[in-house]
């Protein structure tokens, strides 16, 4: 949510800002703007809607001269998407310009205080308060650093902010708390941004700022201060992936590219962690003594990562014999979870920045529980805050609707299941070996789900179903959790009303909604429950539903006796089967969205990284 780019150098800033913002589009936004300091003025251009609107307004940036600037894509929180509410915001006297990601919780109080002192406001945003607060203090001291420090001391909430002052156009100040911000070290130029892709074309040397950090920089120099205001050294890390990893590379959409990347991503997650027939997780420090005294495991996350948590319940309970409870991060803090030294809290997040998930992690730590994070984005807030950390190493994921991050998070759960079960001795060696064997070949089986033949099949079925208004996804056991994710995919990118139900629950309500032509996606891969799921399929068919089935090769003939539209996936260990059965559901949602002309990579109202609660 919201993207920030700041540039100081010798090149024209505006095209660089637009380019950087285009790499942050994936975060979700509904307006965009830039501000360039030049010739004793702060020149602002903003436009509601897509970045292309802003770009055409300023001729791709060429129309705005100046070598220092800040840019922003806004995902509306305070005030509707509009030109006025877009960032950057300039303070009342026109001396300070600000872009901001996050929420200033006490902005109304600050706004009243500043209004009483003569400051006027044009927008409804909390960000305009930051600009005026900095200007208020700057008016008194004429010292930028002092003014920003005083302003920050009054601000409550979350923020990544980049600030320009008309009187000192060769300096930029950026501050960060609970919202992502990186600093990019260039040659004769420096950058700040919400995420690496925004500046990767210009530098690979980045530093992930800590909470409370402030950086004061020119084109040649940067001073870093920590939360206590002490000057500190922040080392540059070298980004080892290429910009092409964050570009479409010939695919029509990032989503289909990332679907295709899943075998490689899964291999990248799993294979370095299997050595000599054992799962080796050097990155974490869970001992047998610690695990033996555990009474409960929570898995806390949002969105698709939460559905990985739902799958983790089946997988970890079966292999480790520990009670596992998946909890939505937005509910976790307020449900008074039973936390203590005997509780392990597994936090799952692609971005590592999701506000609710980060808050849940902090709450778990505050209550004395050990936290283990499964994160994709290196150096993100959750990665830094957790006691133990396992990176998914999926590479950058750009499409808002996750695919490869989901698959790699699930792969980490398998690894953890084997690792913990080995320490606790809860799995017979034969079973451990059987799962490990399948895990080592999982990437190849996932690849078999994405063959050209399968793509054409899914495209064909999408053509049959793309006009439906409602869909239901049903399955049992792990299949029911796969249904949750498949249903979410269809909702988020194809805008079709869709619900997922444990198949056995159908008769307790949802079956009343089944009528002629309702789409029911039935996932039936769990051998012991196949017949039961098929009974549910027959029940909905009898009421007119159009059923699309997903099963393993073993049950293909059986399911075809009842269901005419069927896609099969290869068979693997039952606990690993979700990694295969999710693929046709991702593809079905993708092709249906394509046929409905939806904005697949940037679905309406959604954001990749949800940094507000």
Neighbour-count burial of 250, counting CB atoms closer than 10 A to its CB (0-12 exposed, 13-18 middle, 19+ buried): exposed
* Number of neighbours of residue 315 by Cβ within 10 angstroms: 24
**Smallest separation (angstroms) from ligand G6P to the CB of 414:** 18
Question: Residue 344: beta bridge partners?
Answer: 297, 370
Contact of 132 with 97, CB cutoff 8 Å? no
Let me know: does 43 contact 97? Beta carbons within 8 Å: no
Give the residue, chosen from 203, 343, 350, 421, that forms a contact with ligand G6P under the rule CB under 6 A: 350
Taking CB under 6 A as the binding criterion, the range among 12-20, 59-67, 347-355, 498-506 that sits at the site for ligand G6P is: 347-355
Contact 38, 7 (CB under 8 A): no
Among 22, 38, 101, 354, binds ligand G6P (CB under 6 A): 354
Question: Least separation, in Å, of the C-beta of 392 and ligand G6P?
Answer: 10
Residue 267 or 608 having the CB closest to ligand G6P: 608
Q: How far is the CB of 526 from ligand G6P (least distance, A)?
A: 24
Q: Which is nearer to ligand G6P, 350 or 577 (CB)?
A: 350
Number of H helices, E strands in the chain: 20, 27
Residue nearest to ligand G6P (CB): 303
Rounded distance between C-alpha atoms, residue 581 and residue 583, angstroms: 6
Shortest Å, Cβ 310 to ligand G6P: 12
Phi and psi, residue 185, nearest 5°: -90, 115
Q: How far is the CB of 307 from ligand G6P (least distance, A)?
A: 8
Give the strand order in the sheet containing 388-391.
324-328, 296-301, 343-349, 370-375, 388-391
State the Cα–Cα distance between residues 217 and 224, nearest whole angstrom.
8
Active site (annotated) includes residue 608: yes
Is the Cβ–Cβ distance between 329 and 356 less than 8 Å? yes
Among residues 12, 127, 269, 357, the one that binds ligand G6P under rule CB under 6 A: 357
Between CA 609 and CA 590 the distance in angstroms is 20
The smaller minimum CB distance to ligand G6P, of residues 176 and 234, is found at 176
Among 304, 371, 487, 577, binds ligand G6P (CB under 6 A): 304
CB of 547 to ligand G6P, least distance (A): 27
Contact at 8 Å (CB) between 575 and 438? Answer: no
Q: State the nearest-atom distance from the C-beta of 560 to ligand G6P, in Å.
A: 33
In the set 2, 207, 310, 320, the catalytic residue is 2
C-beta separation of 395 from 367 below 8 A: no
Radius of gyration of the chain (CA): 25
Reduced to 3 states (helix: H, G, I; strand: E, B; else coil), residue 46 is strand
Out of 6, 164, 610, 611, the residue judged to bind ligand G6P by CB under 6 A: 610
Q: Which stretch binds ligand G6P (CB under 6 A): 81-89, 188-196, 475-483, 601-609?
A: 601-609
Nearer to ligand G6P, 184 or 303 (CB): 303
The least distance separating ligand G6P from the CB of residue 334, rounded to whole angstroms, comes to 18
Nearer of residues 134 and 358 to ligand G6P, judged by Cβ: 358
**Would you say the C-alpha torsion 465, 454, 441, 532 has a positive or negative sign?**
positive
| Interaction residues for ligand G6P, span 283-302 (CB under 6 A) | 302
Which CB, 194 or 351, lies closer to ligand G6P? Answer: 351
For residues 322 and 328, what is the distance between their CA atoms, to the nearest angstrom?
Answer: 19
User: Is 2 annotated as catalytic?
Assistant: yes
Least distance CB 351 / ligand G6P (angstroms): 3
Q: Both tokens of residue 409?
A: 């998070």
Measure CA of the first residue to CA of the last residue in the chain; give whole Å: 11
Both tokens assigned to 535: 């009974």
How many residues of this chain bind ligand G6P (CB under 6 A)?
16
Any contact of residue 132 with ligand G6P (CB under 6 A)?
no
Token pair belonging to 280: 């080796």
Task: Rule CB under 6 A: say whether 262 interacts with ligand G6P.
Answer: no
Lookup: tokens for 377? 């984005």
Q: Tell me if 246 sits within 8 A of 200, measured CB to CB.
A: yes
Could you say whether residue 611 binds ligand G6P (CB under 6 A)? no
Among the residue ranges 34-42, 146-154, 237-245, 602-610, the one whose residues contact ligand G6P (CB under 6 A)? 602-610
Binding ligand G6P (rule: CB under 6 A), the pick from 305, 360, 386, 416 is: 305
Nearer to ligand G6P (CB atom), residue 86 or residue 357:
357
Among the listed residues 71, 197, 303, 395, the single contact to ligand G6P using CB under 6 A: 303
The nearer residue to ligand G6P, 421 or 609, going by C-beta atoms, is 609
Q: In this chain, which stretch among 7-15, 462-470, 541-549, 604-612 interacts with ligand G6P, using CB under 6 A?
A: 604-612
Interior/surface letters 374-403, b for 16+ CB within 10 angstroms, e for the rest: bbbbbbbbbbebbbbbbbbbbbbbbbbbbb
With CA atoms as reference, report the closest residue to 605 among 493, 507, 502.
Answer: 493
Contact pick of 12, 38, 179, 351 for ligand G6P (by CB under 6 A): 351
- Angstrom distance (rounded) from CA 480 to CA 490: 15
Footprint of ligand G6P on 379-418 (CB under 6 A): 400-402
Map residue 417 onto helix, strand or coil. Answer: helix
Question: Which residue, 290 or 393, has its beta carbon nearer to ligand G6P?
Answer: 393
Q: Minimum Å distance from CB 118 to ligand G6P?
A: 41
**Catalytic positions, written as ranges:** 2, 608
Residues that bind ligand G6P (CB under 6 A): 302-305, 349-351, 354, 357, 400-402, 606, 608-610
């Amino acid at each position: 949510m919201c993207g920030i780019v700041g540039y100081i150098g010798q090149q024209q800033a505006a095209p660089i800002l637009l380019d950087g913002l285009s790499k942050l589009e994936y975060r979700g936004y509904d307006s965009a703007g830039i501000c360039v300091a030049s010739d004793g003025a702060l020149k602002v251009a903003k436009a509601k809607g897509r970045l292309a609107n802003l770009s055409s307004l300023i001729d791709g940036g060429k129309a705005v001269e100046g070598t220092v600037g800040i840019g922003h894509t806004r995902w509306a929180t305070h005030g509707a998407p509009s030109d006025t509410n877009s960032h950057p915001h300039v303070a009342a006297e026109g001396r300070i310009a600000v872009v901001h990601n996050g929420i200033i919780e006490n902005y109304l109080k600050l706004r009243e205080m500043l209004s009483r002192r003569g400051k006027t406001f044009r927008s409804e945003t909390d960000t305009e308060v930051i600009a005026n607060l900095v200007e208020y203090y700057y008016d008194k001291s004429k010292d930028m650093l002092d003014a920003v420090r005083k302003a920050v001391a009054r601000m409550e909430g979350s923020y990544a902010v980049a600030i320009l002052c008309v009187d000192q156009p060769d300096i930029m100040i950026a501050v960060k708390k609970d919202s992502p911000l990186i600093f990019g070290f260039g040659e004769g130029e420096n950058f700040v941004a919400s995420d690496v892709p925004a500046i990767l074309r210009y530098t690979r040397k980045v530093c992930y700022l800590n909470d409370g950090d402030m950086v004061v920089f020119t084109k040649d120099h940067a001073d870093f201060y920590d939360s206590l205001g002490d000057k500190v050294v922040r080392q540059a890390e070298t980004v080892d992936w290429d910009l092409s990893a964050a570009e479409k590379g010939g695919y029509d959409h990032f989503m289909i590219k990332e679907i295709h990347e899943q075998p490689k991503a899964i291999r990248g997650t799993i294979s370095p962690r299997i050595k000599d027939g054992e799962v080796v997780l050097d990155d974490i420090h869970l001992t047998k003594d610690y695990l033996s005294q555990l009474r409960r495991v929570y898995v806390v996350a949002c969105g698709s990562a939460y559905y990985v948590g739902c799958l983790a319940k089946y997988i970890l309970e079966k292999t480790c014999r520990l009670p596992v409870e998946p909890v939505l991060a937005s509910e976790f803090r307020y449900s008074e979870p039973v936390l203590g030294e005997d509780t392990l809290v597994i936090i799952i997040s692609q971005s590592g920045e999701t506000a609710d998930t980060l808050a849940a992690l902090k709450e778990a730590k505050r209550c004395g529980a050990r936290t283990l994070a499964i994160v994709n984005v290196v150096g993100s807030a959750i990665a830094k805050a957790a006691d133990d950390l396992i990176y998914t190493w999926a590479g950058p994921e750009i499409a808002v609707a996750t695919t490869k991050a989901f698959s790699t998070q699930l792969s980490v759960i398998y690894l953890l299941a084997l690792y913990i079960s080995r320490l606790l001795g809860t799995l017979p060696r034969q079973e451990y070996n059987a799962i490990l064997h399948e895990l080592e070949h999982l990437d190849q089986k996932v690849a078999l789900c994405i063959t050209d033949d399968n793509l054409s099949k899914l495209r064909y079925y999408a053509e049959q179903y793309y006009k439906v208004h409602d869909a239901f996804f049903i399955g049992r056991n792990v299949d029911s959790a796969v249904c949750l994710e498949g249903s979410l995919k269809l909702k988020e990118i194809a805008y079709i009303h869709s619900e997922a139900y444990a198949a056995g629950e159908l008769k307790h309500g949802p079956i009343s909604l089944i009528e002629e032509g309702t789409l029911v996606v039935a996932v039936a891969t769990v051998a012991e429950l196949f017949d039961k799921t098929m009974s549910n399929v027959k029940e909905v068919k009898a009421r007119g539903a159009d059923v699309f089935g997903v099963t393993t090769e073993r049950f293909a003939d059986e399911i075809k006796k009842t269901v005419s539209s069927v896609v099969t996936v290869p068979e693997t260990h039952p606990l690993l089967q979700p990694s295969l059965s999710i693929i046709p559901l991702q593809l079905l949602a993708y092709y249906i969205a394509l046929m409905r002309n939806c904005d697949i990579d940037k679905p309406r109202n959604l954001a990749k990284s949800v940094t507000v609660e």
